[in-house]
Amino acid sequence: MNDVAKIRADLPTPPAETDSLPHNIEAEQQLLGAILTNNDVYDRIASTVKSEHFYDPVHQRIYEKSAARIQKNALASPVTLKPFFEDDDGLKELGGPAYLVRLAGAAISAYAARDYAQMIYDLAVRRELISLGKDISARAAKVDMASEPREQITDAEQRLYKLGEQGVAERGFQSFLKAVTDAVNVANAAYQRGGGLAGISTGLTDLDKKLGGLHESDLLILAGRPSMGKTSLATNIAFNIAKAYKRGRKPDGHEGAVEGGVVGFFSLEMSA
């Protein structure tokens, strides 16, 4: 067994709960060790994992203190963090400040940090789902006039939606290769289309010249005074896109719309 393996084997593991939730203490230890030995690792994983995603409370506090120092352009290492954990009862159970040194000794390579961070995040989401499921079950089993079933369903939907949205809008840096590949794919899609547009044609030539078609990342707001034809214009665009819809194999090899698209139209001014 090599020296690194010995260090990892020496790392104490918090006692397991009777009803153990999904977690990976070793992944948490090694990710924290990577941060303590190379603070640049934090920038790679900060958009993926937060302190609350760590299963062990001591690891949560270590990550919080490390993040706070790094964000202030200060060094986060076993030596600089030691004063903050002198009186930490949880850390004392794991061997005191010496535990920070052992974490650094068990550090993973920087290139693997994102994978470990994603694993920690995914396990945290699983724990949230389990907790949410238990709460829904407990509330449903309790017959209470103040909590109607429909209200419970609405609350459960909101909590699930909030959980599902975590991390969706948070994106880290993209490699230059990926950015260039995406740009080439957009240009190739425009070349394949009859009108040479990067986006989906609205069916209105002058509007397409201004917009270059409709793109997935677009939010277009059509503003105007009452009765000036906003709904009529939007309806025409929707109709043109739906009429032009053709399904086939896209340039990236996936099946999808090669012309036009599938349209969903919502209007508060009309009936169903």
| pLDDT value for 37 | 92
Q: Which of the two residues, 62 and 246, has the higher pLDDT score?
A: 62
| pLDDT value for 16 | 47
* pLDDT tens-digit series, residues 175-199: 788 788 878 877 777 776 666 677 8
Whether 18 shows a pLDDT value over 60: the answer reads: no
| Cβ-contact 114, 44 below 8 angstroms | yes
The pLDDT confidence band at residue 218, using thresholds 50, 70 and 90, is: confident
The pLDDT confidence band at residue 160, using thresholds 50, 70 and 90, is: confident
Q: Between 3.40.1380.10, 1.10.860.10, 2.60.40.10, 1.20.1260.10, what CATH number should domain 1-173 receive?
A: 1.10.860.10
| Cβ-contact 222, 230 below 8 angstroms | yes
Whether 170 shows a pLDDT value over 70: the answer reads: no
Mean pLDDT of the chain: 83
Minimum mean pLDDT range among 113-127, 171-185, 222-236? 171-185
| pLDDT value for 169 | 45
How does DSSP classify residue 138? H
| pLDDT value for 155 | 85
For 159, phi then psi, to 5°, come to: -70, -40
| pLDDT value for 195 | 62
Distance, in Å, from the CA atom of 218 to the CA atom of 237, rounded to the nearest integer, reads: 15
* pLDDT tens-digit series, residues 37-56: 999 999 889 888 999 999 99
The pLDDT confidence band at residue 174, using thresholds 50, 70 and 90, is: low
Q: The tokens 């997935």 sit on which residue? A: 216
| Cβ-contact 142, 47 below 8 angstroms | no
* pLDDT tens-digit series, residues 72-94: 999 999 999 999 988 888 888 88
C-alpha radius of gyration, the chain, whole number: 26
Nearest Cα to Cα of residue 259 among 218, 203, 204: 203
What is the domain partition of the chain in residue ranges?
1-173, 194-259
Q: Which of the two residues, 183 and 243, has the higher pLDDT score?
A: 243
The pLDDT confidence band at residue 34, using thresholds 50, 70 and 90, is: very high
The residue-averaged pLDDT of 222-230 equals 90
CA distances from 81 to 10, 70, 129, 205 (A): 21, 11, 33, 63
